[in-house]
Amino acid sequence: MPRPLEGSPYAFTVPALIEAVPEARDRAWGLGLDLDEELTHDLKLLTGELVANSVTHTHAACVVSVRWTGERLCVEVTDVDSTLAVPSQALHTDEHGSGLFPVAGGGSGEGDLGVVGL
């Protein structure tokens, strides 16, 4: 059964371990939001990349917040570093480093996906 819209946002804390990334991605996906296949892919991609970037570069826990309005999906990852992350392009041979580039590229859909500082 899809999660009701008034049930969003949903937030959880991720420990400062790269091994926690798959569980965080699955936890966001497992919220039961009524998303089509493309948005489900974006949710997994955004959660995984943002959490991995956060725990890799801050070595601290982060908080993931997922909000679905029925029209817009928002994935926010808040960490302890006040420096705004800068997306960069990894080489196709790199095992790591795609980081925020898929996020800055807008996932698979259109809109204002990207990295913002608060």
If you write DSSP's letter for every residue of 32-76 in order, what string do you get? -----HHHHHHHHHHHHHHHHHHHHHH-S-EEEEEEE-SS-EEEE
Chain segment 58-75, per-residue pLDDT in tens: 899 999 988 888 878 888
105 token code pair:
């590229």
Each residue's pLDDT tens digit, 1-53: 454 444 456 889 999 999 999 999 999 888 878 888 888 888 888 888 889 88
pTM greater than the 0.85 cutoff:
no
CB 58 within 8 A of CB 79: yes
Per-position DSSP letters for 1-18, written without gaps between them: -PPPGGG--EEEEE-S-G
User: Closest Cα partner for 18 from 76, 58, 66, 64?
Assistant: 58
